[in-house]
Amino acid sequence: MASSLEILETRVTGNVLEPDARNATEEDITVITQPPEEAVEAFPEGGYGWTVILACFVETFWVNGWSGAWGVLQMALQDTLHQTPASTLSFIGSLGLGLCVGLGLICVRISQRIGARWSMLLGVLLFGIGNVLSGSTVDNVGGLFVAAGVSYGFGSSLMYTMSNNLPMQWFARRLGTANGIVKLGGGLGATVMSVVLQLLVDKVGIAWTFRIMGGMSLVTGVPAALLIKERGIPSRNAPAMDFSLFRSMPFCLLFLAGAIGTFALFVPPFFLPLLANSIGLSATTGALILAAFNSCAAIGRLGSGVACDKLGPVNMLLLAMALNTASMLAIWPVSDTLAPLVVFSVVNGISNGAFFVTLPTAIGKMLGPDQAAVGLGMAITGWTGGYLMGSPIAGFLIAATGAEDSRSIVPYRAAIFYSGGMALASMIFVMIARLGMDAKLYKKL
């Protein structure tokens, strides 16, 4: 049997395991998931890696710029599609989000065939062209499902998958910080675009808003994609899935935490503008509240990334889901005026943004560099149900209670408590995983 150090070195360098190393004991696996300090030196921890991080930053800017501002786009589309309920329009956005994560394993396979750079470039082209075409379908629900939902979904999936996997090739000790910077791009994109798109809608209308966003994403995203560089040659024979990972209880629990938690995460950004309008606030104020949510999500992404390296990613994931749950169950139900709604947007935005950094970092460090890409792809694919149905379920509840025509927060509470309950269930799974790894909560994990 190979020694623990031999197995560890194999994981770090990416070489194929020898037959006898495949029979590693549980003790060996423990060492792999907690590599000694000298093993981490195999990673550059910088250099050209920062250029790759910058490129991923730009791509996530557009991925989250679209999804984080969908609430603004949805409100504008209601003016051109008067008879279309909010639940249907929210499902267009959710379809794009669902495909973004649901196609993750397919995108891993594509990147193994053609490489990360060309995969990213293909994603940017699909994303940008899809937005341009969306400008010609703003009065056609079926066209929007294809041009906005499907094109965004496939393009953003390639962009998002590459942005999640590339940092793990360049960083180990600073993985949390690197992930935080990449996801900061998404937070800034959602913040900036929720304001910019509202201004564009007011000035040039929804059709040209889509076209301008598509053009800007191509002008900035294509050069960024061409800067992508991988460490090593992607293996065409590498598996896209590894069901043996489900033998690990911590991985299973974090998988379930992500799969359930994502049902709640997009409810606030999708419906905050609508809720703001229902309690008597203007469309501009609603867009600014959404911008506050997204800016705090950006802070949560970067801050949690740095904290992951200091305090441990699983600890930070638990804290993020605890704050998310508390804000949804304690603050949002009573946010019937501007002040509490802003407080909710700040607290929930920070915790919401932190989720998208802490969970990938936790899985990346738990599995090690050899299995991280496949494991993370599987975990993100598990988000498909939440991305696809999380917001539409809230939309159906809002429609059923007549909240769209209400001037009060009361009819929204069914949707609010639904999303809060899903966040609570996710937090419980993270807590079980954390206590199962070590009962001492102050330990860095």
Does an H or E element contain 441, and which? none
CA–CA gap between residue 156 and residue 153 (Å, rounded):
5
pLDDT tens for residues 267-287?
888 788 888 888 888 878 887
Q: Which of 426, 344, 345 is nearest to 385 (CA)?
A: 426
pLDDT at 25: 44
pLDDT at 418: 94
Straight-line distance from the first to the last Cα atom of the chain, in angstroms, rounded to the nearest whole number? 28
Other beta carbons within 10 Å of 11: 23
For 50, how many CA atoms within 13 A lie in the half-sphere containing its CB?
3
CA–CA gap between residue 2 and residue 252 (Å, rounded):
27
CB 58 within 8 A of CB 179: no
pLDDT tens for residues 120-161?
999 999 999 999 999 888 888 888 888 888 888 899 999 998
Residues 103-132 have a mean pLDDT of: 90
Give 18's pLDDT tier (boundaries 50, 70, 90).
Answer: very low
| Predicted confidence (pLDDT) at residue 215 exceeds the cutoff of 90 | yes
CA–CA gap between residue 251 and residue 374 (Å, rounded):
12
CB 161 within 8 A of CB 111: yes
pLDDT at 236: 55
CB 253 within 8 A of CB 433: yes
pLDDT at 214: 92
Place of tokens 């001492």: 440
Burial of residue 7 (CB within 10 Å: 0-12, 13-18, 19+) is: buried
CA–CA gap between residue 102 and residue 160 (Å, rounded):
11
In percent, the amount of the chain with pLDDT more than 70 equals 86
DSSP for 292-316?
HHHHHHHHHHHHHHHHHHHH-HHHH
Identity at 21, one-letter amino acid code: A
Q: Which of 424, 412, 173, 385 is nearest to 271 (CA)?
A: 412
pLDDT at 237: 58
| Predicted confidence (pLDDT) at residue 7 exceeds the cutoff of 60 | no
Six token digits for residue 363:
């899985």
pLDDT tens for residues 346-399?
999 999 989 988 998 888 878 776 677 788 888 888 888 888 788 888 888 888
pLDDT at 33: 42
Which of 50-64, 76-90, 99-113, 193-207 reaches the highest mean pLDDT?
A: 50-64
All residues at 6 or more sequence positions from 142 whose CB lies less than 8 Å from its CB, including other chains: none
CA–CA gap between residue 444 and residue 427 (Å, rounded):
18
Give the three-state DSSP class for 65.
helix
Q: Which of 168, 108, 172 is nearest to 372 (CA)?
A: 168
pLDDT at 137: 86
Identity at 420, one-letter amino acid code: G
Centroid of chain to Cα 134: 23
| Predicted confidence (pLDDT) at residue 300 exceeds the cutoff of 60 | yes
Domains of the chain: 43-437 (1.20.1250.20)
Eight-state DSSP code of residue 241? -
